[in-house]
Amino acid sequence: MTQHSLIKGPHIGLLGISLGADICLCMASFLKNVSATVSINGSGFITNKAIYYKENSVPQLGHDLRRVKVAFSGLLDIVDIRNDIVGGCENPCMIPIEKAQGPILFIVGQDDHNWRSEVYAQIASERLQAHGKEKPQIISYPGTGHYIEPPYFPMCPASLHTLLDKPVIWGGEPRAHSKAQVDAWKQILTFFTKHLGPFPKL
């Protein structure tokens, strides 16, 4: 990526949402040249499959489908299916984000029904500070669900979950969620400009 013609370099920023956010946190933790990372409703944990990179490995947190709830609409609510966070910020299933070279911005929806993103962001903050890192910036949006996408994208309140092969609730109230998408984009641009420099003109 650092060799791409549109990459200013020498370092890059990463932006991910949900599982993509956790992949970005892994990249920031294990790879060089990552100067800034934005996690949108990531968990900070390895949730489904253990990861391996060189001599590093992080086990999976796992889940229990018996904790799935059925909403009034008939859609599944999976917010409680992940296993309890035993050990808090030192849980072995947590991504070692303290190894990241650059700052991390956590953007979370308080009505996320995929998992408890706000709780996970607080645990991530505790882990960073326990390892002598600065307290990260956490921007939390009330009435906002899981898929905080770019401004003016239509809200996705529910859809088919690829692992369960059933429709699930993602959360969010349309007005609050839409306003959060507009503000979050501004916050992301400000964060990257601060830590990577102004965006190059195309």
Q: Which residues are catalytic?
A: 18, 112, 146
The helix/strand/coil state of 123 is helix
Phi-psi region of 176 (alpha: psi -120 to 50; beta: other; left: phi over 0): alpha
Per the CB < 8 A criterion, the answer to whether 104 and 136 are in contact is: yes
- Taking the C-alpha atoms of residue 139 and residue 152, their distance in angstroms, rounded to an integer, is 19
Sheet holding 158-161: strands in order across? 69-70, 76-77, 166-169, 158-161
Produce one character per residue of 165-180: b if its CB has 16 or more CB atoms within 10 Å, e if not: eeebbbbbbeebbbeb
- Taking the C-alpha atoms of residue 71 and residue 146, their distance in angstroms, rounded to an integer, is 17
Q: Residue 143: what residue type? A: G
User: In whole angstroms, how far apart are CA 68 and each of 2, 32, 80, 158, 168?
Assistant: 42, 39, 7, 15, 10
